[in-house]
Structure 1
Amino acid sequence: EGGRRLGGLAYSGGFLFASYDRVRASHVLIYEVLANGLQGELIEQYEVDVGGTEGLAVRRAGPSSKEVLFLGGPERSVFAYIFRFVTGFELHGACAALAPESSSRSAAPGRRAGAGGLLPLLL
């Protein structure tokens, strides 16, 4: 619909993360996964400033946080974020140190997170 395509799909700690590429940004939908393995209700959704998404990885970073990596952007780079429910995405510490201060924004549900920090990939 409207040029939207699946840019990545990942599972972590009972939640399914689906990233839909919207050319200039990624729309991330987070669903609970039921005991039978099926997708449950939509829990939260966010928009992250990473366009051209071609991959997504999620893993537990702490008791209430997850590391989320997006592969995409015009530079074909890895964009790293820390995710927490309710408060959303913020640049990963490794990327925040590289990014200008204004791009180290967090995104609450339904909000955008900037993509200031990136880790170049040699592809």
Structure 2
Amino acid sequence: GRHLTGVAFSGGFLFASYRWEEADEAASRVVICRTLANGLPGELEEQYGVDVANAEGFAVRRTSDGAWEAFLVGGCRRALFAYAFRPVTGFELHGACAHGPTPEAAELRLPSRGAAPNSQALAPVFLSLLLA
């Protein structure tokens, strides 16, 4: 089945993330619609699969004309995944993460539920509080 994991509005577009559970894996998908003048979603503009298993959260913000940042929270790995998005070319690892010290640089580990806050990682703590 399909499970909505997040909806975001940014720069005239509506982004919706959902899990598509097939067999033993749950792939994440993002659909994108331009919003109409009355605020309702228009026709489907684009759709993508992203490599985040069992996504539990989703946020998007426009960074410039034709460019957005997208953040997905992976449920089974308790990690924050950051992507850059451009229409037509799709999602790619966020530039600040893609050139990090390890191949997993775009994956930021969240503390386990109930863990003491870490001042070195405010974003993961904030997200873990939202997910608690």
- Aligning the two structures, in what range does the TM-score lie when normalised by the shorter sequence? 0.7 to 0.9
Show the counterpart of 2:57: 55
CA distance in 2, matches of 1:69, 1:83: 10
Task: Say what the alpha-carbon RMSD is for the aligned residues.
Answer: 1.7
TM-score, with normalisation over the residues of structure 1? 0.79
Distance in 2, Cα, partners of 1:94 & 1:76: 20
Output aligned runs, 1:85-100, within 5 Å: 85-98=87-100, 99-100=102-103
Shift of 1:60: 1.0
* Aligned residue number for residue 3 of structure 2: 5
Q: CA deviation at 1:119?
A: 1.2
Gaps of 5+ in 1: 101-114
Highest RCO, 1 vs 2 (Cα 8 Å, sep ≥ 6): 1
Identify the residue that residue 118 of structure 1 maps to in structure 2.
Answer: 107
1:28 matched residue in structure 2: 30
Tell me, in whole angstroms, the C-alpha distance in 1 between the residues paired with 2:16 and 2:88. 17
Q: Structure 2 unaligned runs (5+)?
A: 112-127
How far the C-alpha of 1:30 sits from its partner, in A, is 0.2
Whether contact under 8 Å (1:17, 1:28) holds in the other structure is yes
Letter of the 1:120 partner, please give it.
R
Structure with greater helix percent: 2
CA distance in 1, matches of 2:45, 2:107: 27
- Give, in angstroms, the shift of residue 116 of structure 1: 7.2
Once superposed, which parts of structure 1, at least 4 consecutive aligned residues long, lie more than 6 Å away?
none
Higher gyration radius (CA): 2
